[in-house]
Amino acid sequence: MSLSSNSHIQQQRQTYACSVNERIRLLCGQNPPQLAWAEPSIRFYQHEGQLRAGRHPSFVPLVVGKPAWPDDLALFEARLFWAGHAVHLLALDPVNCAEVTLSESNGDEANEGNQVIKQSHTLLTLRDQARFGLTNIKLPPKLTAIEYRHQGRVMAWRLTLTAANGANNHV
């Protein structure tokens, strides 16, 4: 774990008259994220000509790059991570969603945001994916979670990928 102080975060909240799926397509259209995660709604969907309940069999929750999640699968929640910011989306109902954009700053800007303590944690990913029935999921090589804490409480978090040469590629 690494710890640094004097970080600042800005959070902007907004609602949209569209589903989480539609908002993701719009956000990823011109600038694909470096990493994306989503949680689907548990409901009925068509698969191989049959109506089924539960998780879509081809759904992969954590992906590197632009997600290719099925259009027929309603997403309840998603997080998208770019180099300079992250977006958290939450379904309010089938046709509306809420969005929180998180960006980090050094505090020198006019609107510097909340001062926080920044903590980085290396995440351990599964080595034996077959044991857990996850053979179709390709996990990134090294993930780092970054937490932003204020008075001991986690205010926000985001993910980064570690580049092959050892330098952090902040997401």
Question: What 3-state class would DSSP assign to 126?
Answer: coil
| Cα–Cα distance measured from residue 42 to residue 121, given in angstroms and rounded to the nearest whole number | 30
Domain that holds residue 118: 2-169
| Cα–Cα distance measured from residue 81 to residue 170, given in angstroms and rounded to the nearest whole number | 9
| Cα–Cα distance measured from residue 19 to residue 92, given in angstroms and rounded to the nearest whole number | 9
Contact 20, 89 (CB under 8 A): yes
Nearest to 80 by CA among 37, 120, 123: 37
Contact 8, 63 (CB under 8 A): no
Question: How many domains are contained in the chain?
Answer: 1
Per-residue pLDDT of the chain (171 residues; tens, 9 = 90+): 555 555 777 888 999 999 999 999 999 987 899 889 998 877 666 677 777 776 666 778 888 889 988 777 889 999 999 877 899 999 999 899 999 998 877 656 545 567 788 887 777 666 556 655 566 666 555 777 888 888 888 888 888 776 544 433 333
pTM for the whole thing?
0.72
